[in-house]
Every structure is written in C-alpha cells, then in structure tokens.
Chain A
C-alpha cells in the first residue's frame, strides 16, 4: 500500500568549516534553507524541525511556504537524498522526483539518452524503458529535438521531458519542486490531467509551488512550512 508517514522529522546539520588554506570565510555555506544557530566554528542549520504528516494512496499534497522554508529540503528527505537526523520516516512505494531540471540530467547526452539514464536511475530495465520511450517522446512534444543534446533545450523543453519521463515510468509517489512554471498553458493542462490520472491510480503526489491556484486545482491536502516547521497541515477540498 502506497503511503508516507513522517513523524517529528528533523534535519539539523553542522556547517563544517571546510579545511582550507585560504583565510576563513565567514559566510555560511548551506545547501538548504532553515535557521542558523551557534557561532564561531560551530554553526548549525536547522533545515527541518518537528515535521509530521501522514499521506495515503490517492493524496495530492501541496507544499507551500516562503523561499527557504524547507520545501525542497523536505522533498529531498522524502526522496532519500538527505537523511533526517531525527524523527521517523516511512515511505512505502516507488518514488521519483522532479527538482530543478539542471539536476540529474546529463547535459551532453541527447534527450533520448537521458530517457534511458533516468529510467535506469529509477531502477527500470532497458527493455521496460525501450517500451515506454515513444510514449515519453510523444508526451514531451519534443519531436526531432529528442535527438539533440539536453543542453540545447530551453527550460520549458527540459521540464517537459523531465515531466514526461517521470510520469510515464509510473512512479507510485511523485515529488515535484516548482517544475510546472515552465511549459505553455496547453502543456500545463495536459500535465495536470496526467497528475490526476497518476493520483487516481492510487499514487501520492507532492507538489511544492508558489502558485496558490495550481495547488487549489490539483491538491487535496496542504502543508505549509515556515522556517522548517509545519505551520499548517489541512485538507483543502474533496479527497
């Protein structure tokens, strides 16, 4: 049964002063949002603090909050890129994630090769990927560009391909981070339909976005983060 159960999740990490021969840099090098505590050589970033929520099959969660509130960090914890430093997390189901399209694609390779690579990264066999490739290309509307290098794509083209790959390979849990701003209105409508289908197949979708109308249109639950803590978690429509 597809589900996500997060209880009192915390992600606190020490900003290590990297060993270096140059004079000390006082700026804090941090990969996540969150609050900074401590001083001098021991500074800590609390990126997530006491985050709890439960999602079941068919849920579509809208993740909102200001920049640096912890939305991307939470998605990366759910995907397994970051490991929580406290609390309990149970994720049941095959997960795929769409982050910034500059992450996780091979810029020099063609769109077609990137389909293969993403499929392999998600644990699919080459035969299974080959079977789905034409469908992915058709959904992405890239046409002959599919055999051009990924680095030659516009943001919108890259996002279309990323979305097509992630949703055609049928993840049970799909995590999306601000991806949908790219792509024209027609593609966005098509993408929303695809997400509905995915959720109807008893999957879970988590969509981080700054667009309230998009969240209202596609999600049935809302989780708002503020400084890494849950500000509200509630239902927002018929589930």
Chain B
C-alpha cells in the first residue's frame, strides 16, 4: 500500500504532464492554424453564374427582409422598353404606361423603378429597401434579356453568420465564402464603392 502522500504526488505528476501536453497541443494547433489564417476574414456571396433564382434567398435569410438583393449591372442592360425583369411575360404595355401600377409589374413588392431616358430606352433601378431577394425579375431578365439583373448578398445588411442559412438551403450550391476585401461576385466590370 502506497502512502497517501506519495500517491498525491504521482497524481500531481500526471496532472502536470497533462497540462504540459495540453499547452503544447493548443499552442501547436494555434501556431499551425495561425499560418492559415487571414485578416479580415470571409463573407458570403452568391455566384450569379450558378444561381437558379429558386426564391430561397427571400425566405431562408435570418434577416427579414433578406440581405440578398437584386443588383443591376447597368453596363449589360439593354435599357429595353419591354423589360421582362419588370413586366411579367405576356404583358402588353399600352402606350399610356409610363410608370405602370404595381399589379402590372413582375416584382411582388414593386421594388424596380423605371425611368425614361431617351427614345425607346428606359433605366431600371432597384429600391433595395423594397427588394426581398426573390429573384423573379432575375429569372425574367436571364430568360429573355441580357441578364443584367442578378442576386447579391448586400454586406451592409448581411450579419455574416458562421453558417449561412441560405447557403445551407441553396439548391445550386451558389453561395460560397469569399474574401472580405473582395466581397462581391459581380456581372459586368463597372461598379463603385
């Protein structure tokens, strides 16, 4: 029978060993991972090439309305009079329509504003406070137009969850992490900000 004093010291030795191993382990892990870390981190973004406009962005985001918004690459836009991002397909605009009523628009919240520029050309802008990120207009623009409308995670709204709820629900795996200093995957070249 070992006396209790000696027993305690053996236990103490084990504990010290475990502490040492723990410090070495955690320190080693920190050192290894530190080499693989990046300042600024990552944010979530939608790859417009992969997006299928399923509508999940409007419903799965933890923010309501969604942090995903329709974005317009003006450089690609045809400035069409009959825009299928704006009018529902099959809609026949009458001559008197300059600013058609909401029920005549494709967007469920009337978030797309239309402004006459010249001749048959109209400028379309998105009111992001109204846009819910459903992607209906984008489907129309992709199917019949130049595809100048597309969905993007707006980083002034996104809270950058560690696991993006929309990414987990996305049927086309279009949402991925991108470096925070290049936080957008844009169509067209021109952008500001």
A binds B: no
Binding site for B on A (CB under 8 A): none
